[in-house]
Amino acid sequence: MARIKVITEPAELVPMFRAVDTKVKREVLKLVTLEWHTMRDIEKQFGPEGKEALAFFEKMKLVETRWQTSAELQQPEKAYHTYYTSFHINASWPVYEISDVLAAAVLPEKEFVKVEKQIYELVGPTGKFAGDVAEVLGATFTMLKSLVKRSTKLDYRGHRIERMKE
């Protein structure tokens, strides 16, 4: 079945950029595009970075999952495959919005981790209204949404930012 991801808001570009920002992520994405693979298969082939890539793809809803029984383990394990067969980007955004998106997407990892940690601590275990977080950070909503989209530890739930459930 052909599924097309339609990108309609600027912050949705961040996962697309981050999905291919390392060689391992690109290779894992190619593999799960071709056929179903388990976390164990990917980790065996790419190590912990491959496992992180799959977790990122799952959080970004770029992969679908199903349970399949392994001949080795004789028990079900989760397998991954890309959800979309193509992407459609038809957009026109103000320069200030797209500049925030691109800045969040290319922010060096070291700086991103500091900002992510700050947001993680701000929202706490119960989550927090995105407007309050943006105000504390002195960031635009577009920048905040882009940073949260990039994170594997944070997620938007309506107008709230919450910690991802393990």
Q: Is the pLDDT of residue 71 over 80?
A: no
> Average pLDDT in the 97-123 region?
94
Residues 35, 46 contacting (CB under 8 angstroms): no
What dihedral angle (degrees, nearest 10) is formed by the CA atoms of 111, 155, 7, 48? 60
> pTM of the full predicted structure?
0.76
Residue 80: per-residue pLDDT: 94
Contacts of 96 (CB under 8 A, 6+ apart): 140, 142
Structural domains present in the chain = 4-89 (1.10.10.10), 95-163 (1.10.10)
Please name the helix (run of DSSP H) or strand (run of DSSP E) that holds residue 156, with its range, or none. Answer: strand 154-157
**Structure tokens belonging to residue 45:** 């082939």
Q: Is the pLDDT of residue 2 over 90?
A: no
Q: Is the pLDDT of residue 70 over 80?
A: no
